[in-house]
Structure 1
Amino acid sequence: MEESTMNRSKAKPGKEARIAAKEPLPAPPVPKKLPFFKRLFKKQPNIFLTLIRQQAQITLEGLDALSNFMETQDPKAEALLTSKEKEADEVRRILIYELNKTFITPFDREDIFSLSRAIDDVLDYAYSTVTEIDILRVKPTPYMARMASLLRDAAFELNAAANRLEDHPGVASEHAQRAKALENRVEAVYREALADLFTGAEDIKHVVKMLKSREVYRHLSNAADRGDEAANLIADIVIKTT
């Protein structure tokens, strides 16, 4: 009799036990979704603007290395500039590939191509400057250091303009104007350097040294010209798209 009672008590669990056995585990929280129309019209990152920003950032890093090299003649700065020039070339190749396969672009495709090329040219001329210094065995002068420093500042403004172009075009235009002003300062130092360079030539050795230095100055001046063109293109894009 006792065994039967014990079996019944085991077979019939209490009310709390039955509830615990039947109660399902809590479901994991469901992540909130954006409303349909917000998902539909959510702005997606644009590949061309992303690549332009990458180019501008790499160019800034390369110009910073150029300025450092002019001040210190550190081989590590030269190696960094060489690396950045190759990195920027690859980004430009990707941009051209995307441009060729894309039908709709955020602004005129010719402007995209030209802006990318102008930014790329700035870094190319910076790289050529260091290459010429090595080949011609030119010792960097204070004028070269000043021009390189101003070019780095101009690259900073171009990078800021590229980053503001999509969401704050008016601010991008302001940065572009600052880059243009810095280009004018580079040209002023360039003319000052040439005037000093061609003063008081005494012999053929001095003339050869002048011609070598002029080549380096010319590359720096060309870098400034291409930076000015990039700034003009950014200003034009702002006018066309606002």
Structure 2
Amino acid sequence: MGLFNWLFSKGVDFYKLLQEHSDLALKGVQALALYMTTGKYDDGEKVIIIEKEADKKRKELIDELDSTFITPIEREDIYELSSAIDNILDYCETTVKEMEIYELSPTVELREMVDVILRGTELIDKSVYNLDKDKKSAMDYALKAKKLENEMESYYRKYLAELLKNDDIKYILKMREIYRHLSNCADKMDLAGEILGHILVKEI
């Protein structure tokens, strides 16, 4: 693309692309929540399929960033928000894959942790949807999502302490990895909320 064409390239709806990416993240977490209920292989595969769809959506967004001069919000903010959203799904996928490799079944503890991520991702999705509509509501959703990271940290410490009382060392090591993935997933949820807040504070 020549410089003239790049400077005056047609407008791209980055809000819509971010919304579509966020929708996929929410669908992926919903699929993970279902998997933690059923433990079925097919339900776990849904998480992996959605993660691949989200990778394609992120590539589309990055390609548009590379070919568009004017963006509605800062280019770096779009990139970082998309990255954080994508990482939520990455940890969901890794959780499923490792549970299958380790031959672990869902537990009440895992369901509780995934529920926190689900509630947080729902809030992130609502915030993204309101970026170009109701900025105050978007900020409110983002802040609420960030607060849930503290709830996850509380669960993580509590359930890890309980896990260490188990006599099966192999089980402890395997399940600790799953706990860690879910904790990291919540960290990325928190980061998405922080980036959204960073974007919005410049616009409200």
Q: Tell me the TM-score normalized by structure 2.
A: 0.92
Match of 1:234 in 2: 196
Contact 1:46 1:106 in 2 (8 A): no
Contact 2:51 2:93 in 1 (8 A): yes
Decide whether aligned partners of structure 1 residues 124 and 73 sit closer, same or farther in structure 2, where only a CA change above 3 A counts.
same
Mapped partners of 2:23, 2:162: distance in 1: 34
2:11/2:70 contact within 8 Å kept: no
Query: Which of 92, 113, 116 does residue 147 from structure 1 map onto?
Result: 113
Counterpart residue number, 1:209: 171
Q: Counterpart amino acid of 1:226? A: K
Q: How far has the Cα of 1:74 moved from its partner?
A: 2.2
Distance in 2, Cα, partners of 1:184 & 1:90? 31
2:24 corresponds to 1:58: yes
Spell out, residue by residue over 1:121-167, the C-alpha distance to the aligned partner (whole angstroms, 9 max, x if none).
00110010000100111222211111111111111101100000111
Larger radius of gyration: 1
Contact 1:107 1:241 in 2 (8 A): no
Contact kept in structure 1, 2:14 and 2:61, CA below 8 Å? yes
Residue 38 of structure 2: which of 72, 80, 83 is its match?
Answer: 72
Contact in 2 for aligned 1:161/1:172 (Cα 8 Å): yes
Partner letter of residue 207 of structure 1? Answer: I
Letter of the aligned partner of 1:129 in structure 2? T
The counterpart of 1:87, out of the listed 29, 38, 53, is: 53
Aligned match of 2:152: 186
Consecutive aligned runs of 4 or more in structure 1 exceeding 3 Å deviation = none
- Measured in 1, the distance between the counterparts of 2:102 and 2:112 equals 20
How many residues matched?
Answer: 195
What residue ranges of structure 1 are gaps of 5+ in the alignment? 1-43
State the Cα distance separating 1:174 from its structure 2 match: 0.4
1:118 aligned to which of 65, 68, 84:
84
Identity of aligned residues (%): 37
Aligned-pair CA distance for 1:120: 0.3
Following TM superposition, by how much is the alpha carbon of 1:47 offset from its aligned partner in structure 2, in angstroms? 2.0
Partners of 1:194 and 1:233 in 2: how far apart?
29
Which structure is higher in RCO with an 8 Å CA cutoff and minimum separation 6?
2
- Pair 1:127 & 2:89 matched: no
Structure 1 residue 45 displacement after superposition: 8.1
